[in-house]
Structure formats: structure tokens, C-alpha cells
A and B are shown apart, each in its own frame.
Chain A
């Protein structure tokens, strides 16, 4: 090893807390990057492989009833590769020993297993045998959540007839990776909703659709052509009552996963940039100071004949070695975390295959990014070192130009300030670089902590908003078809039901210019208490006659605002009319992308005097079982969802995974915040050794000398807090933009205790770092320091 390198390693070892700080920050950044980016790659790969292997449909068309023969016509449309007819219907599932209603989606499959579009992957058991009728393959999570196993039985009721089905297998399908019945459900609840794949003949008989179908799926040659193809298909199918046409990109399950994957991609860009930027900043401060204290040594090296380049590179190497160490540690930590992250995702999404790889490409990328940042951080130091003239370096460095602070020109104030404070103010104002670095470091630390806390705050606020302020029912009973006022009246007379309100949810295509989107319009009654439309400031939007209130993400998507007109076309086929409706207001929504309207106006648009699709009930506590038994007997119920369950399952799935990521983020933010503050304090202490020793010799006691330094640091810390607050809020606002998607929008909400916590934590880091500095002041060898030449 060359003496140059020996010097390098010893310097690193000597300044180990700083070195460790840089390593830790790089490690956190890279670990977060690897974890998020691997998850991104793994999930994308898993999704794509799964889709291809099982021929996930490019489009889906729901019709009332279409004859088999139309399939051949569809297949002959230009650009269509393959089409499959299916029967899809929601049925009540009755499981022995389970009181609550379960909803199963019946999907017909060919009786012999051939590779088809939206194929079933067998996980357990077997596929149907030819000629078998009353058998079913169950989706995995539903079977597990309800204790159903291969060989077991359950009942379904279709059109008031009951069938007993035997379970022959457990399966999964690319169509239901994210298992929710409709867009309003938002979160899977595996015990309440699942898929039942059944033989075609059985479905045809049970649903009375002999040689016909109500659901058509297909593959195309070029997904770009989908709009044209779907328009053609629409014309062909028009006589059979088209309810909805869905492109793959809008398919519910796919939309959720793809949004999640997109979000991961965004995090993979933001997090490392933020963390590594900070690492570069610490390096910058550390190395610049090193060059300053090693001026003489640098000059000496050059006097020996080392080139500017090799001296300059020495400092870059310093940065690189620390960064590469951090990067490798981060890679290992990140791999480990990525494993855990994938486990969370597997819980949440139903992938039968899992493409989890160690991406060497990710390592080289992180290494690349790290090297760039480290070099950037070390560059100014290296340039300074290269510029030092050997002869000049042997003399003391001329201090930078200093000036008086404005306060000194106001003698009547200046004279009243105590000596200590004069010292402090002078130090701050005359070492602008050091002061701003101190201040900036604290500001960054505070913003990181704010950001760490913000994510949980935001999700918690969103959940409370959704489940306390917006949805105020205890139970939501959804019906398969529209119902009249009598059903609501009946529901309100159930035992233990204290209040019942109707809700009308109907799918529409909304169009503005060339932009269009399939949405659900929710009709809310005038005196509704249990479902309200409000924004994050908790202002309730009144729904006057005729106007729409749009969810913010939807309004953004369509680029419309209050006063604009939009076109609404009912999707379920029955009504042919097209409506022009004004946008009344735009409301922030935590979940979903619905549009809201007055119930009466919406009913009229559907040519009904009064229609509801669900009933919202408020019930006596503890009366849940009674209600379940009653509901089981009522036909036409599509789903019963208890708000408490929805909240719980949301907390269990999304909440849990978010808590884990948020805790990691917060822990990283804490590590980094402390590293920055500690480093900057340590650096400024070693810069000031001589100054502090001089004060000690003049007769200032350790506490007096300490006070000057602490007060200065605390003052700069306080200023840093003042700057850090808006900075942190800015970062949080960026996160809101980055993470919000179609389905869900992070509220920009920072809890008061987050501000308090973050500030307290930041300031206690400042105090802690100063405490460490205090030990150094105590140990300061006055004689040695003062005898060294400047």
C-alpha cells in the first residue's frame, strides 16, 4: 500500500464518526433504492410473466346475453387474435357454519383444460373432468379465509335455486391479482369475495344461458388499435345489450397493480436522489474541511513532486471508498429488505408465481449513482487541493474577508448586548459558510423527519377522513339490481336498524373533448347523513340539482374545473340517452375516483322515479349477527360490507405494509438527520479548536467556552428549523404528487404532533451532538493546540 493510501485509511479511521456517518447515509439511500427498485422490477416481471403465461385478456365486454355465433364474427374483426365467451355472474355463497353472506363470482371455464384467455393456474387439486357438472375451482385466498379445502362442498344460490358444489381444485388467475368485486370496494376482503370457476355446461344450465354468454374476452394483435376494435365490436354486439367495455389498462385488478408498480418506480427515483444528495453534501463539508486542515501536508506532497491530479484524486478517492463501502452495505441490506417487501406484496396481491431475482444490473446502477454523487461531493475539495501552491501553503491561510454585522452599526443596541452574545453574533456573521452549513444541515434533517412522519400522518388522516367523515354508516348492503323505495323501507324496519339511507351508484362514461373515462356516479340523497361529499378541509359540498361534484384526481385527469360541462353516457346499456352536465365542484378524495350527484337528479337520468343500488344502515352495536341472518334470506343482495371490517382489512393490508415502509423511512430519516447534525458539529468543532483553546487560555472556563459554541449551534439550529419547516412541507407536497394515483390520493396533512416531534427530535440531535462536542472541549489539550502553527 502506498503511503498515500495509508494516510487515507488512517484519516478515515481517525475521523470514524464522520466516516461512519457518510457510510450510513449512503447505505440507507442505496438500501431504500435497492429495496424499492427490486420490488419494482420483481413485480413488473412477475406481472408481465403471469399475464403472458396465462393469456390475460386485452379487452372485456359485458353484455346482457349474446349468442355463441357472434363470437366468430368478433374473431373475424381485423386486429383481433382470439376471443372467448364466458358466463360471469355474482352469486350468494353459503358455507356451513358461516352466517355472514359471502359473494362469489361465478366464471365459466371450458370443461377440458386447454390454454384459454384468462386461464386458471391450478395451485391445488385438479381441473374438471369431462362430464362433471357441479364442481368448482376456488380462488386461493377465498378458500383459505373460509376454511374450504379440495374435496369440500358449499352451496350457491342462483335465481332462487340452490346448488351444492364440490371443490376439485384451488386456483388463481391474472384477472384477479387484486381481488376486489368493484372499484368502490378498493381493498380486498378475502373471506367475503372470491372467484368460483365452474364448468361451462353447469353455468349455462344454472343461469339459463344455453349456447349464449354474457361476458366476452379477447386478445388483439396491437393494443394501440383497441379503441377502434372495441368500437367495431360495440356495433356487432349492440343488439345484445352492451353493459361495459373494458380495455386491459382499465381492468380493475390490473389498474391497481400497475398503479402500485408505477408508485414504486417513482419512489425508486425520489429516495436515492434525496439520500445520496445528502451523502454528497456531507462529503463536501467533510472533505473541504480536510483539505483546509491539511494545507501544509498537501503543499509538502506537491513539494515532493506529487502532481496536482494525484493530490486532488486523493480526496476523491476518500469519498469513493466511503461511498462504495456504504453502497455495498446498502446492497446487502436492500436485498434483505426487498425479500421482506415482496412478502408483503404476496400477501396483498394474489400471484401464483413470483419472479424474485437479484438484479446485478441494480447493483451496477446503484454503484454508478453512488460514484457520481460521491465524486460530486468530493470534487470541490479535490479542486481546492489541486489548486494549492506548495510555497504558499507553508504560510498561514489568509482568512476570508470579514465584515461587520449590521447590528454593530447600531451602537445603542450593540453596547447592551452581553459579551458572550457579541462573540456568538460575530462568529455567526463572520463565518457565513460555516453558519449556513450548520443551518442548512439542521433544515435538511428536519425536513427528512417531517417527511418520515408525514407518510403515516397522511395515511392515518386519509383513513379517518374516509371512515369517519365521509362514510358514516355501519353497514352497506349492495343489491344486484336497482331497487325501489320499498326495499329501503323494509330495511329500515329490520330489528336493530336505527336509520337507513339509499344510495344510487351507476356506471357512466364521462367525456370531455376527446378525453373519456369509465366512472361510477354516486347519487346521494339531500338529507343524507351517512355518505357525504367533502374535501380534506372537511367542508361538505352540497349537491344541488343537476350538477356533478368530481373527485380531484378525476377532474385533473379530464382537465375540468367548476363550471365546465361534461358528457355522461350511461354504461349498463338500458338507457340510450346522453346527458350534458355541469361540474359544480371538485372535491379531494382519499379513495376512489367517483363523481357525485343529487340522488333525485341521477334517478331521473335513469328514467326512474326513485332507485337505489345500496342501502346504508346504522345499527345498534352488537346486532351484527342478527342482521346477517336476516340479510341471508333476502334475495338480490350482492354484498354486505361492515365499515368496521373494511377499516380493519384496510389497516391490515395497506396500513400494515405502509407502516413497515414508513417506519423504515422514518428510521432512515433519523439516522441521516443525526449523521448530518453530528458531522457538521464535529467538523465545526475541529475547525475551531485553536479558537476555543485561545479562549480557554485567556481564562474562559469550559462552560463559558462551551456556551459560546452551543448557543451558536442552537441559534443556527433554530434558524435551520425555521427554514426546514417550509422545506419539509415542500418535500411532502412533492410526495403527495408523486404517490397519488387514480385510485387514491395522499392528503397533504401534517399532524401538529409531527411538527412538534420533528422539531424536538431535530433539536435534541443538535443538543446530543453538542454534548459529544462538549467532551471534546473538555479534553482539548490547550498547550498542544496553541503550539501548533496555524
Chain B
């Protein structure tokens, strides 16, 4: 499939990345992390990005999420180029549109599950009730627990609830199951798929576990800082069917 075929931004297109390059300067050495990656992201789709370490998939995700700015190229979102955003515009963008889930849950240890979710709902304009967000990840019962009283999988689901609660346009998950065992990982993935199905949140999921790819609408394979191949799944697998 030709990745540059879509020129017109149709209403169903959420992001349009064109020739995105990112170079890190470390002392005198310039290390390229992305070498002209181009990608279109459709509203409501579940996209899995696969690739070995160093292929640039996390960098790509961070650029989409507004944690990082590209060195060259365009990242079009609602007619605006993210690449030209300054720090405070990126902060506003993150605040309004982005939900992040990391491999390590990054919960505030001294806040309860519900308070961790409140952290996000307090700063957004049209959030879910924290309790509702926790219900979505089936943790309604445990909302008064502190992270130390929750298992790894539960903590990750609190992190997901926190990310979803502000009703972001897109949920970006960087190895969300990387620190979890198979069974727990499946529960977390199920939670993510459910959100994608029910709230129609666009979801990008980075992993180097190829077996997860079956969940996706499309699978993007990255290699050496470029989009190497995109596969469209005719039919998405359910979490239970995944061969881990």
C-alpha cells in the first residue's frame, strides 16, 4: 500500500504525518530517530505500531502526543501543524486531546485511584466523572485504594482510566502490557479495546509483541525510523483469541 496516497484530509482523518524527521544531538553526534516517516491516522481506529527497539516507534508516539517536536516534517491535526507548536501550545494540546498510558503506570503513590483520575479530570473542560472512568476499567470497587494496595494490572487500569477520563481524541499507549504477565496483560488490553469500541477513542498502541497485532484495524511496522509496511486487518481478533 502506498502510504502517501491520501492527499486530501477527509473528515475521518485525525492525523496526517508527512516526512517527519527527528534527530537527537548528543554531544557532537547526531542520532536520527525518525527519517521521514509519513502516516495517516483515521478517527476511531485501533492502530498497533510494531518494530524492534530503536526503530523510532516511541519517538513517533511522543511526537503525536506532543511530548516532543519533530526536527522536520509536518504533523497535521485539525488543520494545524503540531510541528510548529511551542511548548505551551503543546501543553494545551496534551491537556485537551491526548491520553497517555506508559509501561510503568506513573501513578501518584500518595493519591487514591479515584484521586489519580481526578488529577486528569480537574484540568479538562468536559471530563467523565472519575467514578465512571474507573467503572469502565472495572475498578469501581477499588477507587479508594492507594496504588500500593493495587496489583500491577490494576494500577495500569487506573492509569488507563486516568487517560480516558478527560475524553481525549486519541489514547497513546507505549508498551502498556510490557511490565505485566500474560493474564493481567490481557485484562488491560481488553479494557483498552472496550474503550475503543464504546467511546470510539482512537487508540495507538506500541508494542514489540507481534501477537497483539491481531487486535488492530491496521498494523504499522517501523524499521530504521521509517514506516516500513502497513497491514490492514480485515477482521479484528478479540483479546481472548490472541495467541500470546
- A residues adjacent to B (C-beta < 8 A): 398-399, 402, 419, 423, 426-427, 430-431, 690-691, 693-702, 704, 782-783, 786-790
Contact = CB atoms under 8 A, between A and B. Distances in A.
B94 A787 contact: no
Contacts of A430: 110
Contacts of B110: 399, 402, 426-427, 430-431
Given A426-B110, A426-B115, A697 B100 contact: yes
Contacts of B88: 701
B200 to A, nearest CB: 21
B123 A699 contact: yes
Contact of B123 (A419, A693, A789): A419
A783 B67 contact: yes
Contacts of A699: 91-92, 94-96, 98, 120, 123-124, 166
B119 A787 contact: no
Contacts of B131: none
Contacts of B77: none
List of 6 A-B pairs having minimum Cβ-Cβ separation, nearest first: A699-B95, A399-B109, A430-B110, A419-B122, A699-B94, A701-B91
Nearest to A404: B112
A700 B162 CA distance: 14
24 contacts: A399-B110, A402-B109, A402-B146, A402-B148, A419-B122, A423-B119, A426-B110, A690-B106, A694-B106, A697-B65, A697-B94, A698-B120, A699-B120, A699-B124, A699-B166, A700-B123, A702-B91, A704-B123, A782-B67, A786-B102, A786-B104, A787-B58, A787-B103, A789-B103
Contacts of B51: none
B62 interface: yes
- Considering residues B58, B62, B91, B104, which has the most beta carbons from chain A within 10 angstroms of its beta carbon? B91
A697 B91 CA distance: 8
B68 interface: yes
Contacts of B232: none
Contacts of A704: 123
Contact of B111 (A426, A700, A782, A790): A426
Interface string B122-154: 111000000000000000000000111000000
A699 B127 CA distance: 14
A423 to B, nearest CB: 8
Contact of A788 (B98, B104, B119): B104
A54 B107 CA distance: 79
Nearest to B102: A786
B179 interface: yes
Given A695-B119, A698-B123, A786-B104, 19 more contacts: A398-B148, A402-B110, A419-B122, A426-B110, A427-B110, A430-B110, A693-B106, A697-B67, A697-B94, A697-B106, A698-B94, A699-B91, A699-B98, A699-B124, A702-B87, A783-B62, A786-B106, A787-B58, A787-B102
Interface of B: 58, 62, 65, 67-68, 87-88, 91-92, 94-96, 98, 100, 102-104, 106-111, 115, 118-120, 122-124, 146-148, 162, 166, 174, 179
Contacts of A789: 103-104, 179
Nearest to B168: A699
A788 B103 CA distance: 9
A496 B91 CA distance: 82
B115 to A, nearest CB: 7
B69 to A, nearest CB: 12
Contacts of A693: 106
A396 to B, nearest CB: 8
Contacts of A431: 110
Given A399-B148, A783-B68, A786-B102, A700 B108 contact: no
Contacts of A419: 118, 122-123
A431 B109 CA distance: 10
B235 to A, nearest CB: 34
Nearest to B99: A698
B67 to A, nearest CB: 5
Contacts of B119: 423, 695, 698
A696 B98 CA distance: 12
A698 B96 CA distance: 9
Nearest to B95: A699
Contacts of A696: 91
A691 B108 CA distance: 6
Contacts of B104: 786-790
- Considering residues B98, B107, B108, B162, which has the most beta carbons from chain A within 10 angstroms of its beta carbon? B108
A787 B175 CA distance: 10
Contacts of B67: 697, 782-783
Contact of A700 (B95, B102, B115, B147): B95
Nearest to B119: A698
Nearest to A788: B104
Contacts of A697: 65, 67, 94, 100, 106
A694 B119 CA distance: 10
A693 B94 CA distance: 13
Nearest to A399: B109
Contacts of A701: 88, 91-92
A419 B123 CA distance: 9
A576 to B, nearest CB: 83
B20 to A, nearest CB: 16
